[in-house]
Chains A and B, each alone.
Chain A
Amino acid sequence: MGQYDALLKPLRIKGLTIRNRVLSTGHAPGYAAGGRVTERYVRYQEEKAKGGVGLTQFGGATATSIENSIDYGQLNGATDDIIPDYRRMAEAIHRHGAACMVQIRHGGRRERWDIANWLPAFAPSPMREPVHRSFPVAMDGRDIARVRADYARAAWRAKEGGLDGVEVSCANQTLIDQFWSPDVNRRADEYGGSLENRMRFGLEVLGEVRALVGPDFVVGIRMSGDEMIKSGLGHEDCIEVARAYARSGLIDFVNVMAAQGRDYRSNALSYIGMDAALAPYLHLASAIKAEIDLPVFHATRLADVATAARAVADGHIDMAGMTRALIADPHLVNKLREDRVDDIRQCVGAVYCIDRVLQAKDALCIQNAATGRERTLPHAVAKAEGRVRIVVIGAGPAGLEAARVSALRGHDVVLFEREERTGGQVNIAARAGWRESLSGIPRWLDGQVRKLGVDLRLGKEAQVTDVLGENPDIVVIAAGGRPNPGFFKGAELATTTWDILTGRVAPGERVLVYDDNGAEPAPSAADYMAERGSKVEVATPDRQLMAELGMVNFPPFLRRLYAKGVVISPDLGLIELRREGNGLVAVLRNEFTFEEEEREVDQVVAEHGTLANEALFDALKPHAVNFGELDMRALVAGRAQAIAANPSGRFRLFRVGDAWTSRNIHAAIHDSLRLCKDF
């Protein structure tokens, strides 16, 4: 038996044969528009099918009812208009041999009333939900009957649309699990009180679904294995629910996840990232599998094929949900089949994808810029017609990606890196203990460029003569940036987040961290120092700390900072820093009253992003055909660069990533893929 055999075994559910055990669970990447399927959405799902996935469940939380608000770019499954969209999706996925299902749900109180149709949210009891902040209508008998029929009709549309099945979501606080959970269901009628009563609504829904779709159509549920709040359903309760629903004979599979979606903390637990070990909730699914006779699906940090294969081989689960792993690499199964496991780009658990969706943006992968951009960017870079010589400066994520893509194009690539190792700023970010997984991003890229035969020159800071000496046709500057404490008076007295995280400067005893960025560096440094005993206050001029991060990414930071007694002070700008005695005095100003206050500390760590390293770029400009100018229209349109303003130019010159300006890992990788794919 090969190591991965279990993952590649087909699974039969009724008349459906799923070709292998790799599953993409229902999620909303935010690619739908107006509740409808788009070309982008189809291509995104089709790429998974092309890449070998067994089953893909699209349409994460497709609406069942007219009052659903569709606030994260979901599909609207509440009208028959969706049926042709389903057909289009099914055709694209089936073409490559994968199976597909849609996930449907009514969001209950987890909906907004002030978008879509301006209808209120409905729930078992009129309790406000912390994330959507709606006050729902407590459902009466007629509401219940109407919503049951809506569910059935929505499931029927999936069947009409040629899908292989439907998953009724009862997880993350949909209406059904709101009925289940004593935390939310405070009813005194036959739908509240005992667990049996609380389970009633969901069973009635599934009964109507089954009645409408018939006995052969595959219907499953997604549910939590433990709500992870004291007032909610515990693990034993969830097992009891699974047992009862399985016993009903109405469903064909159970898809198990963890926690629920009632608030920020819970969301972050459900979609837990690099702050958890691999397969953190496998035991929850395994316990349910032990109790029921139906196939059990499960996702959450089954980030690599070895973990997923073991989970299946050891009998914990039947389908391995590798949703984020497939976002990082939709061709994961094909690479596994081709014995190219090392070529699989592995999810690092940065939750950039989900975080963006929960910020009402589109889902993107921190490290794979092609995901969700299948129309314009390739997952498999094809060879170019000709062969040119390309010099890349800097082996951070931007430079590594530029080298990888250029090498895949078939070009000769020389990659200069000043440090003795590749990775650039990611190496610094990964120094914050629990964020070590980030180093997986450059590690994979490093492995790929070496395998592709890129001429990697480590420990070599390239000078103009080095570049000219290579006789390049194209030069890509990916030299990154240098830390910038900011532009306030006395900024030179500040320590940078890099100084702290690299260990170059020891953390002080009393520290003010000043975050004028909003992303991860400042909270990482604060956490790092608090961990080492510093008394830390983090001030920011933003409305809240980590304004750039979404509700899956900021909770683990906040949990850590609060637990270590870090004081968080929003709405304060740092206007001056001066030395006084042995210490420093920081002058902070309230953003709204302009009132000033002072802090006496040992150390001020100021974060203001990076300043681009442009010296080499500037020095090379006169030698460049394009004087270093980028045709951004061509770049965005996906056309090759063609500026040729300098008749005596010897090569074309570009810059990517933070060497252009301070952004993030995704931007760096995206810059390079988008530019270099046309070399």
Chain B
Amino acid sequence: MIALLLSIALATGAVLACWRARRWSVGRSAPVAVLRGALRLPRGYFHDVHDVVSRDRYAARMHVLAAGGFVGAVLLVFAVHLFGAAWPPLVWLLMVFLFAMALGALYVLARRWPKAEARLSKGSFQRLPWSLLAFALFFFWASLPQAGAPPIDWGAPLAWAMFALGVWGAAEMIAFFPVGPMKHAFAGALHLVCHPRSGRFGAARPDSALRALDLSAPRLGAETPADFSWNQLLGFDACVQCGRCEAVCPAFAAELPLNPKKLIQDLARAMDGTGTDARYAGSPHPGREIGRARGGPRAVLIGVDAMIHPDTLWACTTCRACVYECPMLIEHVDAVVHLRRFQALERGAVPGKAPHVLAELRETDNPGGHALSSRLDWAADLSLPILAEGGECDVLLWLGEGAFDLRNQRTLRALVRLMRRAGIDFAVLGEAELDSGDLARRLGDEAIFQSLAQRNVAILDRRAFSRIVTADPHVFHSLRNEYPAFGGEYTVLHHTTFLAELLEAGKLAPRAKPEGKIAYHDPCYLARYNGEIAAPRAVLDAIGAERVEMDRSGMRAMCCGGGGGAPVTDVAGKRRIPDLRMDQARATGASVLAVACPNCANMLEGVTGARPDVTDIAELLDRATEGP
């Protein structure tokens, strides 16, 4: 009886798994090293996934019990009840697993009933604790005879009732494993094996560089689900709707119309034949009602009446908080940029001020449309050495777009003073410097980015220097991580790393301690994109700052709202992201909010009302090392 049940469930499960996998086959082919991926699976799970899961201690305990129990139990259930291996210790072990699973189910239950945590999706997930319990309870009861209890009297009403429970449990946990709430384990395991960014496993630093787009391809970017690679589609299906991304998304917090969980669900549901979000049971994209999205595997994804509203797409700041928090290792930002690429390159449909900014980039090689010769206007009295073609210097100071902006010229002046004080042999490119292309790339205009990158690489290749230093984490990320794809391999340092080195080497001697408490705001492109969270703090510690941390800091810091072109696409929310971030800074009682990025400086300094002073680390160090 039980063997029959299991056989039917298993067969159904196998059929449904094949049916499910067919969804992904609409995607583009992608080179996947399956064997290497399979070998990586245990470490991928116990290291990469568990790293993320364990950031939530409760969820970690829950998952160890429920998932560990289930995996152990299901294997032994097959052994004992399908293949008749009724060796008592094996049965006892099975019962231990089932007990653990039931305990895990209670954990699941406790966070879903009577009221589920806000970030969790409801719907079929609300059944999960009960189906886990049903499965555990039934097989525990069904295994009692093998453990020495009297055989089951299948004629008794209790047996029928238990069997009904068993049918439901086996259906949920085995038959519908690839399609129900347990789908996350099915697709998740495959996603780990076939992950589109195999480079992120076992890497010393975040694998955060966007992949270069082949601009000669017949279609640029993603218009429909079919334009994603099949393993990206698999990744969307792996989403367990835990809402960790939702909980950290700055756009969601400010009630811009973006919920990263819903975005991934939109992409997953678009793969259904009759794609709709009607059965989505989590938080919506703020301000948008559920049930209106329509799509299909080959239907347009972005549109007012399509699966994803354009405002949702353009509300993303590319801060990677969602990616960093995703236990299923889904790459939200890659998906966003891929979608944006189609909008920018095939449709020219970029919103807000973005078309203007992109046009300026195309025409003038900088987003502000300034004459490149004016990049040094702020330094007319500093006589900065210019690194001409064929020239040589130790440090090439890449000024970036901050050089056109009053606020960040102060940072650059401080940095120049520090370099002079430390006796660094440095130079700037002057009017030869072009925009790094970061903004264009995040807005999806890969063509502009590649053109700028290629030309910047050519410019840099005609000059000799040992390393590049920049005060702009976006420039830092592009040059360090994204230019190698275009032949530009350089040692690139963010200015905080460089300044920490100078302090370490004794080339700068702090003499004045800053007053009051200082909170440091990690730039996304320095922390999550590049893993650098220590150097800025080392500089602050070196000047004797009374350093305090915001609730969200380091790799888990919240975005200022200034990345990914968000300030130019300017999608409206209920609040402004920098206002939220500044509230967190205020809560620390800091009198100074230290920053290390021109975008952060502008976004946070734009916050009105009483607030800490927004000061770049270079400015703080400059003040601390100023001569008498």
Residues of chain A having any CB pair with chain B under 8 Å: 1-2, 4-5, 8-10, 17-20, 96-98, 337-339
Contact = CB atoms under 8 A, between A and B. Distances in A.
Contacts of B378: 8
18 contacts: A2-B405, A2-B406, A8-B406, A9-B374, A9-B377, A10-B380, A17-B380, A18-B380, A19-B380, A19-B381, A96-B381, A98-B381, A337-B409, A337-B410, A338-B410, A339-B406, A339-B407, A339-B605
B406 A10 contact: no
Nearest to A4: B406
B349 interface: no
Nearest to A336: B406
A339 B406 CA distance: 8
Nearest to A20: B380
A17 B374 CA distance: 13
Nearest to A99: B381
B472 to A, nearest CB: 18
Given A2-B406, A8-B378, 12 more contacts: A4-B406, A5-B406, A8-B377, A9-B377, A10-B377, A10-B380, A18-B380, A20-B380, A97-B382, A337-B409, A338-B410, A339-B406
Interface of B: 368, 374, 377-378, 380-382, 405-407, 409-410, 605
Nearest to A383: B515
A412 to B, nearest CB: 16
B13 to A, nearest CB: 63
A480 B378 CA distance: 45
Nearest to A3: B406
A97 B407 contact: no
Which of B368, B381, B406, B410 is the most central at the interface, judged by chain A CB atoms within 10 Å of its CB? B381
A20 B374 CA distance: 12
Contacts of B368: 1
Contacts of A1: 368
Identify which of A4, A8, A96, A98 gathers the most chain B CB atoms within 10 Å of its CB. Answer: A8
Nearest to B413: A337
A20 B409 CA distance: 14
Contacts of B409: 337
A272 B406 CA distance: 33
Question: What are the nearest 9 A-B pairs in CB distance?
Answer: A97-B381, A10-B380, A19-B380, A19-B381, A2-B406, A17-B380, A9-B377, A10-B377, A339-B407
Contacts of A8: 377-378, 406
Contacts of B407: 339
A338 B410 CA distance: 7
Contacts of B410: 337-338
Nearest to A49: B381
Contact of A337 (B374, B380, B382, B406): B406
A295 to B, nearest CB: 15
Contacts of A19: 380-381
A552 B597 CA distance: 51
A5 B374 CA distance: 11
Most buried by A among B374, B406, B409, B605: B406
A96 B380 CA distance: 12
A98 B380 CA distance: 10
A2 B407 CA distance: 10
A10 to B, nearest CB: 4
Contacts of B377: 8-10
Contacts of A338: 410
A382 to B, nearest CB: 12
B418 to A, nearest CB: 17
Contacts of A10: 377, 380
Nearest to B406: A2
Contacts of A98: 381
A672 B409 CA distance: 36
A180 B510 CA distance: 61
Nearest to A2: B406
B620 to A, nearest CB: 14
Contacts of B406: 2, 4-5, 8, 337, 339
Nearest to B405: A2
A97 B378 CA distance: 12
Contacts of B605: 339
B456 to A, nearest CB: 24
A223 B123 CA distance: 83
Nearest to A12: B380
Nearest to A94: B381
A549 to B, nearest CB: 40
Nearest to B605: A339
B329 to A, nearest CB: 42
Contacts of A339: 406-407, 605
A1 B409 CA distance: 14
Nearest to A1: B368
A94 to B, nearest CB: 9
A218 to B, nearest CB: 16
B430 to A, nearest CB: 13
